[in-house]
Structures are given as C-alpha cells and as structure tokens.
Amino acid sequence: MKKRTWDLKMKAEIVLEGLSGKPVSEICSQYQISQDQYYQWRDKLSAEAHRAFDGKMKGAEVSRLKAKNQRLQQIIGALTVELKKARTSCEAAGFAIGSGSERGGCGAGVKNERWDKNRRSVVTSSIFHRKEML
C-alpha cells in the first residue's frame, strides 16, 4: 500500500473539522486515516498553535529576502563600478564632473537638473562644460 503524504494545510483542516464538533470517526473514515493519526495531528496542532501568532518570518521567507537583498547589492555594485568608469572616462576627456548645481555632466544626452532660486523651479540643461586646460 502506497503511503500518502498530507500537506500542512490539509492536516489543519481535518483537525479543525473535528474541533468544530464533527465526530472523529466520521472524519477518519471520510479521509481514510486512523483515529490515532487524527489525535496525533490534533495534539501537534494544539502544541504548535501559539506559533501562528508570533509574527516571526518563516524560514522560506527569510531565505527569499536574503536572496533578494544579495541580488540588489550585486546590482548596486555593478552600477557603482559603471559610474566610476564613466566618471574616469569623462575626466580623461576633459569634462567636469559635478553635482549638477554648477557644472554639467558627461555623456551624450545627459541632462543635469538644478534648483533655480530665482525662478523657483527645476532647470534642466544638457550643456557640457569643458575643463580649462592649463
């Protein structure tokens, strides 16, 4: 005879049927389990019921979040390296690198935004400023 495996949700539903007042013998014959099995599941559910309210993350969720965190850190690392390379090549070409408030950026079509106090709005420009060659 092949051994059946029950998922956790189904086990809980079976036990809750018994706790709601349905006769245990009827439940066991319906699901073809022994009464001993039912009572083991019931005892385990009552012993572990407090964990449903502890609010701690499950192991699978923790693993998923750790993997997501690592992927995001790799993306940030790759973007940081790419930015450093771009800055180095811009500086080698003689373009000034700034925050956008007083100097333009480097690269085709790169736009810099700055806050204009007089206009009280954001000013966007794509003008490049070459460093003065001494």
Task: With a cut of 70, say whether residue 97 has pLDDT above it.
Answer: no
Task: With a cut of 50, say whether residue 103 has pLDDT above it.
Answer: no
**Given this model, what pLDDT does residue 104 score?**
47
- Tell me the average pLDDT of the chain: 78
Task: With a cut of 60, say whether residue 58 has pLDDT above it.
Answer: yes
Mean pLDDT of 126-133: 46
Where are the strands (E) in 1-134, listed by range? Answer: 112-116, 121-125
Mean pLDDT of 69-90: 91
- In angstroms, the Cα distances linking 35 to 3, 41, 86, 119, 127 are 16, 10, 71, 80, 81
pTM over 0.95: no
